[in-house]
DNA sequence: ATTTTCAACTTGTATTTACAAGTGGAAAAA
DNA sequence: TTTTTCCACTTGTAAATACAAGTTGAAAAT
């Protein structure tokens, strides 16, 4: 019993977030009013509002003056990176995730297409590769690097039903605060063509991203190849 | 003298935002402390913090406990839609904007690839097309539709040096609250190939987006074709 | 000279209180 | 019955206050 060091508004945020994604509150319905939440959780309105603002910011609710807080699942632009998750990246088709490379500690690739800090380089990184498959067709190949800084027991965690980001946020208090990304349309080279099962020269969507977190010198780096023959990347933001 | 109806925290937000983008505060430097801002603008700390939180949210500053608020221009993922603006979409190359179709009132296309509400359909829309050129090469073709709801004098405005979004925000109090987007890599068809000056069959990046605003039934719709032969779309979020 | 301590800053969290403004339904008036 | 008014609810804005916690540099001790 140690993690009770979280501020109250974050506890409420996590609680409401969990209830929203797990379906306790239906999409389109109203959250309890701010005053009700005050009473139930024994906090004041600014504190409750602080939590609700975070939910608005993350797209889980939409507030309307005079009415209330409307529940708005499914959010998460970041979904396309969740390790085995709900993923709003693609429609509602059946989606299967194949881990090509389980999280493993290694040194950073040299050269690396992003600039990394000395601190990050010194600690090494955790590396993983995934292939995502829809209806038997591979659509999504991604390569991820995260710095191996103060993440006890990380590689031994099971990532079943939990996204990488949820684990980082709830277990290690690491929150994604922003990022940079580069998008291109490329012709598939032989390796990518083979992985994604498309003809050489066919267009693939290429994404490079660096995600900043609330921890200094802790950025998440991803490279993504996407087969957009039959699907599109779909994002909410 | 009427627009003084803006809440105090928004006034401070606009003021600081203006000063940041115009260079009064250099990137990496510190904003005046919260208590200083309280004194200067004659407001209390919660109000000042409300404004600063909005700036954090929009990526203009980054706060650090014990230190201060660090200026972090230039942000704006949305930059790729600004009508003639700073645009962080592409690197620092010279960028030229050609208006293929000046903002004009018309009825909505039929069929339209997004679902629109009855209200939006009844009011008609404002339509515009642009081509963006870097070093003599066209890289960016976009088609925009916004509903023609309560936008007095909109089509007669000059869009010099101001982005569409800045005008909507400061003149009409319309703020983008989120959106959906669909991304694909496509083979260029003859029309797009001609506009973007690339060979038929070469890959182009295709983006469809719908942006929600704080005004009900007021969404902004855009379709973008991007020539990623020599450039990438670069976004901060 | 070097290290340690501490005081003066900064932002972070939280309480309490008050009124403004939008929404929706029930009660009152037509 | 239909319309209008109004009240009780919601969120929005704002003040005044207090203490916690991280940062930095100067003063004090070694």
Tens digit of each residue's pLDDT (9 = 90 or more) over B192-222: 999 999 998 899 999 998 888 888 889 999 9
The answer to whether the C-beta of B45 is closer than 7 A to strand C is yes
Q: Which nucleotide is closest to B64, CA to C1'?
A: C11
pLDDT at B162: 59
Q: CA torsion A63→A69→A71→A77, rounded to 10°?
A: 30
Do both A117 and A35 map to the same domain? no
pLDDT at B65: 95
Do both A93 and A169 map to the same domain? yes
Do both A42 and A81 map to the same domain? no
Q: Which residues of chain A have pLDDT under 70?
A: 1-4, 74-95, 159-163, 236-237
- The H-or-E segment that residue B194 falls in is helix B190-196
Q: What is the DSSP letter of B217?
A: T
In a domain, A61, yes or no: yes
| Three-state DSSP class for residue B182 | strand
SS3 for B134-168 is ECCEEEEEEEEEEECCCCCCCCCCCCCCCCHHHHH
pLDDT at A61: 92
Do both A219 and A108 map to the same domain? yes
**Does residue B164 register a pLDDT over 60?**
yes
- A11, A38, A71 - which closes a domain: A71
B interface test, pick of A91, A203, A220, A227 with most B CB neighbours within 10 Å:
A203
pLDDT at A196: 96
Distance between the alpha carbon (CA) of A137 and the C1' atom of C4, Å:
65
In a domain, B231, yes or no: no
Partner residue facing A204 (CB), from B62, B180, B185: B185
Domain CATH for A190 = 3.40.1410.10
Do both A89 and A113 map to the same domain? yes
In a domain, B237, yes or no: no
> Is the separation of the CB atoms in B126 and B103 below 8 Å?
yes
**Does residue B82 register a pLDDT over 70?**
no
Plot region of A227 (φ>0 → left; ψ -120 to 50 → alpha; else → beta)? beta
> Is the separation of the CB atoms in A142 and A129 below 8 Å?
yes
**Does residue B155 register a pLDDT over 50?**
yes
pLDDT at A167: 82
Which tokens in the block code for residue B202?
């070469």
Distance between the alpha carbon (CA) of A227 and the C1' atom of D11, Å:
44
The answer to whether the C-beta of A46 is closer than 7 A to strand C is yes
Do both A35 and A130 map to the same domain? no
Distance between the alpha carbon (CA) of A68 and the C1' atom of C24, Å:
12
CA angle (B7 as vertex; B4, B12 as ends), nearest 5:
90
In a domain, A108, yes or no: yes
Q: Taking CB atoms and an 8 Å cut-off, how many pairs form between chains A and B?
A: 88
Distance from CA of A235 to the nearest CA of B (A): 5
Indicate the pLDDT class of residue B169, thresholds 50, 70 and 90. confident
Partner residue facing A184 (CB), from B46, B228, B236: B228
Do both B101 and B209 map to the same domain? yes
- Nucleotides in C strand less than 7 A from protein CB: 9-18, 21-24
Distance from CA of A156 to the nearest CA of B (A): 31
**Does residue B2 register a pLDDT over 60?**
no
Indicate the pLDDT class of residue B237, thresholds 50, 70 and 90. low
Token pair 């809440």 is found at B7
**Does residue B107 register a pLDDT over 90?**
yes
Residues of B in contact with A237 (CB under 8 A): 77, 178-181, 237
Distance from CA of B229 to the nearest CA of A (A): 8
**Backbone dihedral angles phi then psi of residue A12, each to the nearest 5 degrees:** -65, -40
Residues of B in contact with A182 (CB under 8 A): 232-234
Nearest CA in chain A to B180: A236
- B19, B38, B71 - which closes a domain: B71
pTM score, two decimals?
Answer: 0.80
Distance between the alpha carbon (CA) of A133 and the C1' atom of C9, Å:
55
Contact assignment for A185 to B203 by CB distance below 8 Å = yes
A174-183, B67-76, B129-138: range with highest mean pLDDT: B129-138
CA–CA separation, B166 and B173 (whole Å)? 10
SS3 for chain A is CCHHHCCHHHHHHHHHHHHHHCCCCCCCCECCCHHHHHHHHCCCHHHHHHHHHHHHHCCCEEEECCCEEEECCCCCHHHHHCCCCCCCCCCCCCEEEEEEEEEEEECCCCCCCCCCCHHHHHHCEEEEEEEEEECCEEEEEEEEEEECCCCCCCCCCCCCCCCHHHHHHHHHCCCEEEEEEEEEEEECCHHHHHHHCCCCCCEEEEEEEEEEECCCCCEEEEEEEECCCCCCEEEEC
Domain ranges, residue B94: 77-226
* B166 or A80: which leads in pLDDT: B166
CA–CA separation, B49 and B61 (whole Å)? 12
Number of structural domains found in chain A: 2
Indicate the pLDDT class of residue B67, thresholds 50, 70 and 90. very high
In a domain, A232, yes or no: no
Residues of B in contact with A204 (CB under 8 A): 185, 203
Distance from CA of B58 to the nearest CA of A (A): 10
pLDDT at A94: 57
CA–CA separation, A188 and A194 (whole Å)? 9
- Residue closest to D14, CA→C1'? B47
> Is the separation of the CB atoms in B8 and B49 below 8 Å?
no
Do both B117 and B144 map to the same domain? yes
Do both B182 and B122 map to the same domain? yes
pLDDT at B159: 66
Distance from CA of B114 to the nearest CA of A (A): 14
Residues of A in contact with B235 (CB under 8 A): 180-181, 183
- B71, B98, B118 - which closes a domain: B71
CA–CA separation, A194 and B60 (whole Å)? 42
The answer to whether the C-beta of A63 is closer than 7 A to strand D is yes
In a domain, B236, yes or no: no
pLDDT, tens only, A90-130: 444 456 778 888 889 999 998 898 888 888 898 899 999 98
Do both A98 and A196 map to the same domain? yes
Residues of A in contact with B222 (CB under 8 A): none
Average pLDDT, chain B: 84
Residues of B in contact with A236 (CB under 8 A): 178-180
In a domain, B128, yes or no: yes
Do both A124 and A16 map to the same domain? no
Domain CATH for B13 = 1.10.10.10
Which tokens in the block code for residue A214?
């609330």
In a domain, A111, yes or no: yes
Do both A169 and A213 map to the same domain? yes
Exposure string for B151-178, b = 16+ CB within 10 A, e = fewer: beebeeeebeebbbbbbbbeebebebeb
Mean predicted confidence (pLDDT) in B148-162: 78
**Backbone dihedral angles phi then psi of residue B224, each to the nearest 5 degrees:** -130, 135
């Amino acid at each position: 019993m140690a993690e009770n060091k979280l501020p109250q508004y974050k506890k409420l945020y996590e609680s409401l977030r969990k209830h929203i994604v797990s379906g306790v509150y239906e999409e389109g319905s109203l959250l309890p009013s701010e005053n009700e939440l005050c009473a139930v959780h024994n906090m004041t309105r600014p504190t409750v509002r602080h939590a609700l603002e975070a939910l608005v910011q993350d797209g889980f609710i939409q507030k309307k003056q005079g009415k209330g807080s409307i529940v708005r699942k499914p959010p998460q632009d970041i979904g396309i990176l969740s390790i085995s998750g709900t993923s709003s990246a693609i429609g509602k088709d059946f989606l299967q995730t194949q881990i090509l490379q389980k999280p493993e500690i290694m040194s950073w690739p040299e050269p690396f297409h992003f600039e990394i800090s000395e601190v990050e380089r010194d600690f090494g990184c955790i590396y993983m590769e995934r292939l995502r498959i829809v209806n038997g067709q591979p659509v999504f190949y991604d390569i991820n690097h995260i710095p191996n800084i103060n993440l006890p027991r990380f590689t031994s965690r099971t990532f079943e039903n939990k996204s990488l980001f949820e684990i980082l946020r709830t277990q290690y208090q690491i929150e994604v605060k922003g990022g940079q990304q580069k998008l291109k349309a490329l012709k598939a080279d032989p390796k990518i063509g083979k992985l994604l099962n498309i003809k050489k020269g066919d267009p693939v969507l290429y994404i490079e991203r660096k995600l900043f977190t609330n921890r200094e010198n802790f950025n998440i780096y991803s490279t993504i190849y996407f087969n957009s023959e039959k699907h599109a990347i779909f994002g909410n933001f």
